[in-house]
A and B are shown apart, each in its own frame.
Chain A
Amino acid sequence: MEQVYEDPADVALAEGLGLDAPKETDSEMTEKIPVKSPKKRFKIDLEEIYGTAFAAVPLIGFLIFGAIPLVLAFAMAFLDIPGYSIDGAEWAGFDNFVYIFEDPLFGESILNTIILGASTFISQIFALAIAYLLSRDIKGRGIWRIIYFIPYVCSVVAITLMWRNIFNPSFGIINQILGKGGLGNGAINWLGEPGLYYVTVIIMSVWSGMGYGILLYSAALTNVNQSSIEAAKIDGAGPFTQFFRIVLPSVSPTTFYLLIMGVIGLLQAFAVTNVLTPNGGPDNQGVTIVFYMYRYIMEYDGKMGVASAAAWVLTALILAVTGLQFLGSRRWVKYD
């Protein structure tokens, strides 16, 4: 507890004794002094007005284009909506939820989303490995980084069409390299065979998703404390020990950030499988949760309520996974 000195003499005494003089006295005194002329007070109000107005624009945008839809999103799940507009919508209770949970495709879409989302972990491991190599004494770091980042700036549509061509069972180069090309006999059907389809999509996602991780890990690795690595070397730690004991913990905030963003992004995956197989892929394995929602918005009339119910489940899933990650992060994320 800080001692409060009322008397100025006490303050002087306290200062003389080297004690902490109460700092509050200072501010209290300045506040009490009535220096504000009417003009100055007007100016301060002006700052208040300008500041609030400037700062408010993005929030107003969110209120209009985010908050209203957000509230509506929860309401719509309980409505039976004819067509697109909620005019003439009727209360449906939990019908939409019953519908999606009885629809086996919805369960499959959750499973598909999770399986395809595994690519985020694979991307991260590879990204860290590449970034670690880039952090060593090498030439042309800038050039390597520019190359590795190319897929990130490319459009999903173009990239997916590219890979679709490369994975084509008959004329695609992958099958030809593997000696499995040609029609029919033994051709690997990358895009048409259930199970294998997952592999194809994951390969594509890792290929295009690594650049971002490499970039962030590279930045994080430049901040790794070199002296603690030197110290570990002197203590006889090999490269593996150095990596797992020093490097890995010190980039853990980046790992955490990438995990959170990667999982949130992949739970909302849509474009890759939609471009690759607009009809949903073999056994509907390309139907992610958002793909499922998209169908019920755009393709099936009067099913907006179903799409909203699916959005609820997606929200719950994202919240649960993110929450779990935050809880788990206390064990392994090390902030300096």
Chain B
Amino acid sequence: MIDETAVALPQEGLSSDLPETELSSEISEQDLLEQDLSEQDVPKRQKQKYHSAKTGAIVSKVFIYFVLVLYATIILLPFLIVIITSLKTWEDARSLVFTWIPPQGFTLEGYSMAFNEYANVDAALPMLLSGFFNTLLYILPPTLIGLFTSSLSAYAFSKLRFRAKKWMYPALLATMMIPGTIMIVPQFSIYDMIGWVDTPLPLMIPGMFGAAACVFFMRQFYAGIPDSLVEAAKLDGLGYFGIFFKIMVPLSVPALLAQGLLGFIGGYNDYLGPLMYLQSSDLYTLQIALRDVAGTYGDNMPNVAMAASIIALIPMLIVYFFTQRYFISGIVSSGLKD
């Protein structure tokens, strides 16, 4: 069962989280809070009455915000450090004294060098760019087609009657239990036999058949769509595909988006698969290209390696910030399986 409140979690934003007047002025010193304290026109006597109880609450509030800010800093600070490093000259980046404002000034040198790394002399695009486009090329088709096959399967499991359902669904769920890396040896051997090694096909074709986890998630979602709706559509003469496209898909856009995003991020950040199967450097995905560029410059010119890392991170971060609502709800609900 997917809990409604859990799925709706990320939608609660800054606004309606707590009663306005409950916090004291001490906390407002934390600049991250934008609370309105002007409404604290409580009579003084009443205020004193609550004083001791409130002090404890205030202390615990201060503590909570202190920890939250500290942890946010631990998460964000490394990014800041690396962004600064990427904007330094290589001398400054290797300096034995870390400077927040580099003595030689900020420069885009690292970025231009990272973008000047080509896979080979014939390459039309710099490695990071071709890596980025390769990634999209390899990831989008299996993500979209896999989403389609998974949700079609989920629709069948949830709304259609067929005899094989009894054993097919448990069988599908059982496949989720098998850890993927166990199969890497024979898979490599098989793909080698059929000539798929050094092509992106091993990264693309299997995903197009759908993923058990996605079927599971979508089936949970479709269970919430009333059967009567499907029956009514059937009476109106819609076929089984028609019901799927005209009823199920439009009603499940957020869930599909969440699953699509999860699939996309998994593919975008995949490392072992591309590392094994893509051997010619013009086929590299962004991650492997990044590894290559960073390997070339490494510790000698950390500014270039860091610039390349930032370049590789930016597209995903943009996707994340624009879609985090779906994203987070997708993660939460796929993690809450019974």
Q: How many residue pairs at the A-B interface have CB separations less than 8 Å?
A: 334
Asked whether any CB of chain B lies closer than 8 Å to the CB of A138, the reply is: yes
- The smallest beta-carbon distance between B120 and chain A, in angstroms, is 21
- The smallest beta-carbon distance between A183 and chain B, in angstroms, is 7
- The smallest beta-carbon distance between A327 and chain B, in angstroms, is 16
Given contacts A153-B320, A161-B290, A311-B184, contact A148 B75 (CB under 8 A): yes
Would you call B181 and A311 a contact (CB within 8 A)? yes
- The smallest beta-carbon distance between A209 and chain B, in angstroms, is 12
Question: Interface 1/0s, chain B 150-187, versus A by CB < 8 A?
Answer: 10110111001111110011011001001111111111
Would you call A58 and B172 a contact (CB within 8 A)? yes
By a CB distance below 8 angstroms, the chain B residues around A47 are 160-162, 240
By a CB distance below 8 angstroms, the chain A residues around B152 are 54, 57
Would you call A140 and B17 a contact (CB within 8 A)? yes
Would you call A55 and B156 a contact (CB within 8 A)? yes
Q: How large is the interface on B (under 10, 10 to 19, 20 to 34, 35 or more residues)?
A: 35 or more
By a CB distance below 8 angstroms, the chain A residues around B317 are 150, 153-154
Q: With the chains together, A170 CA to B96 CA distance in Å?
A: 6
Interface size of A by Cβ–Cβ distance < 8 Å? 103
Given contacts A87-B193, A140-B33, A150-B320, contact A176 B97 (CB under 8 A): yes
Asked whether any CB of chain A lies closer than 8 Å to the CB of B305, the reply is: yes
- The smallest beta-carbon distance between A186 and chain B, in angstroms, is 13
The interface centre, meaning the residue of B78, B162, B313 with most chain A CB atoms within 10 A of its CB, is: B162
Given contacts A85-B192, A161-B305, contact A139 B74 (CB under 8 A): no
Residues of chain B from 23 to 75 with CB closer than 8 A to chain A in the complex: 23, 32-35, 60-61, 64-65, 67-68, 71-72, 74-75
Asked whether any CB of chain A lies closer than 8 Å to the CB of B306, the reply is: yes
By a CB distance below 8 angstroms, the chain B residues around A44 are 161
Q: With the chains together, A7 CA to B173 CA distance in Å?
A: 46
- The smallest beta-carbon distance between A155 and chain B, in angstroms, is 4
Question: Interface 1/0s, chain B 116-131, versus A by CB < 8 A?
Answer: 0000000000000000
Asked whether any CB of chain A lies closer than 8 Å to the CB of B251, the reply is: no
- The smallest beta-carbon distance between A334 and chain B, in angstroms, is 14
Residues of chain A from 32 to 53 with CB closer than 8 A to chain B in the complex: 44, 46-53
Q: With the chains together, A157 CA to B294 CA distance in Å?
A: 10
- The smallest beta-carbon distance between B91 and chain A, in angstroms, is 11
Would you call A171 and B168 a contact (CB within 8 A)? no
Would you call B68 and A144 a contact (CB within 8 A)? yes
Residues of chain A from 83 to 141 with CB closer than 8 A to chain B in the complex: 84-87, 129-130, 133-134, 136-141
Given contacts A153-B316, A275-B271, contact A138 B64 (CB under 8 A): yes
Question: Interface 1/0s, chain A 57-97, versus B by CB < 8 A?
Answer: 11111101110111011001000010011110000000000
Q: With the chains together, A293 CA to B275 CA distance in Å?
A: 14
Given contacts A62-B175, A65-B209, A142-B10, contact A76 B271 (CB under 8 A): no
Q: Which residues of A contact B (CB under 8 A)?
A: 44, 46-62, 64-66, 68-70, 72-73, 76, 81, 84-87, 129-130, 133-134, 136-158, 161-163, 165-166, 168, 170-171, 173, 176, 181-183, 207, 212, 215-216, 218-220, 222-223, 254, 257, 264, 267-268, 270-271, 274-275, 278, 290, 293-294, 297-298, 304, 307-308, 311, 314-315, 318
Q: Which residues of B contact A (CB under 8 A)?
A: 3, 5-6, 9-14, 17-18, 22-23, 32-35, 60-61, 64-65, 67-68, 71-72, 74-76, 78-79, 81-82, 85, 93-98, 149-150, 152-153, 155-157, 160-165, 168-169, 171-172, 175, 178-190, 192-193, 197, 205-206, 208-212, 215, 240, 244, 265, 268-269, 271-272, 275-276, 286-287, 290-291, 294-295, 299, 302, 305-306, 308-310, 312-313, 316-317, 319-321, 324, 327-328, 331-332, 335-337
